[in-house]
Amino acid sequence: MNRWKFTLLAGLCAATLASGFGNAALAGKLEDVLQRGKLIVGTGVGNPPWHFRDEKGDMAGFDVDVAKIVAKGLFGDDTKIEYVNQASDARIPNLVTDKVDITCQFMTVTAERAQQVNFTIPYYREGVGLMMTAGGKYKSRDEMKAAGAGVTVSVLQNVYAEEMVHYALPEAKVDQYESVDLMYQALNSGRADAAATDMSSLQWFMKQNPGKYVDGGYGWNPQTYSCAVKRGDQDFLNFVNIAFREALTGVEFGTYSKSFEMWFGVKPPEPKVGFPEELR
């Protein structure tokens, strides 16, 4: 481990020297970004309502809106963002190798990940739900649980995927897919009896295809979503945290609230005026 760290450090030193702008690199991320005039945001493209390209070809979704809050805080202009398209497994590597300033890509906060990147304060709490085709073999989670090992569930590729499905359906067979559209395709083609994924994505999809699908009527597995920045720059992390805190509780709440309602169909609870409740 020590040797690896040494190699990494030596590589980084060489990188700093070779790039010839040692001073700029020492000044800190916040200064770098301000000087550059745009924020480089790492996010995905194929997962509405989180991050996707809308019909005009612009980036849209809740993750994108959250990134815009940071850009607005930096430059007073939420369009000064360069999006770097990354797969879920590139979220941490792209931060570590400075390909992006910040990653906002429905990233679940875990202690293991926190050893590799710095997480900001959370902006959403997700849960998992089940979705079946309307008129399909099973109508609810209870029916599927009773059917036991005969049930196949399609799910987005994830380290915790098996464990996650088995919490709700202990005997079900779990098929993992690389993207949400493939997962839904498995459900449509009958390869899977149900799709298990984030409640937000299911709700969004059911809204787009009214009458074609049914909700399994069960939600579980809370997970916290945060943006992440490269480890070791507390100053930049503080800045992003403040921008988010004020979006959740302060002057930017209107922006956050509008976006929340647009993607999830409900309004978030208003912050109470008077004593700052989050400190109680």
Partner 1 sequence: MEHFLHELWIARWALAQGLLLTVEISAASILCGSLIGLLAGIGLTYGKWPLRLPIRAAVDSIRGIPVLVLILASFYLLTFAGINLTAVESGLFALSIFCGAHMGEIIRGALQSIPVTQIDAGRAIGLTFPKILIYVLIPQAMRQIMPVWVNTGAELVKASTLLSVIGTGELLLRTQEIVGRNFMTLEFYALCGFLYFLINSVIERLGKFASRRFALQ
Residue 97 binds partner 1, judged by CB under 8 A: yes
- Out of 116, 140, 157, 185, point to the residue binding partner 1 (CB under 8 A): 185
Residue 180 binds partner 1, judged by CB under 8 A: yes
Those residues with Cβ within 8 angstroms of residue 172's Cβ, 6 or more apart along the chain or in another chain: 144, 148, 149, 151, 152, 153, 165, 166
Distance CA(199)–CA(261), nearest Å, equals 15
- Out of 24, 30, 182, 242, point to the residue binding partner 1 (CB under 8 A): 182
Of 101-140, binders to partner 1 (CB under 8 A) are none
Torsion of CA 156, 61, 103, 267, to 10 degrees: -100
By rule CB under 8 A, what count of residues binds partner 1? Answer: 35
Q: What is the DSSP string of 230-268?
A: ETT-HHHHHHHHHHHHHHHHSTTHHHHHHHHHHHHSSPP
Nearer to partner 1, 117 or 169 (CB): 117
Q: Between 33 and 62, how does the x/- string for binding to partner 1 read (CB under 8 A)?
A: ------------xxxx---xxxx-x-----
Nearer to partner 1, 86 or 259 (CB): 86
Distance CA(3)–CA(9), nearest Å, equals 10
Nearer to partner 1, 90 or 121 (CB): 90
Distance CA(41)–CA(70), nearest Å, equals 10
C-alpha pair distances (Å), 205 with each of 8, 61, 132, 263: 43, 13, 12, 11
Q: How far is the CB of 47 from partner 1 (least distance, A)?
A: 6
Nearer to partner 1, 16 or 116 (CB): 16
CA angle 190, 196, 165 (to 5 degrees): 110
3-state secondary structure of 58: coil
- Out of 34, 80, 98, 271, point to the residue binding partner 1 (CB under 8 A): 98
Residue 25 binds partner 1, judged by CB under 8 A: no
Q: How far is the CB of 67 from partner 1 (least distance, A)?
A: 15
Nearer to partner 1, 62 or 239 (CB): 62
Interface residues toward partner 1, by CB under 8 A: 8, 11-12, 14-19, 45-48, 52-55, 57, 84-87, 90, 93, 97-99, 179-182, 184-185, 205, 208
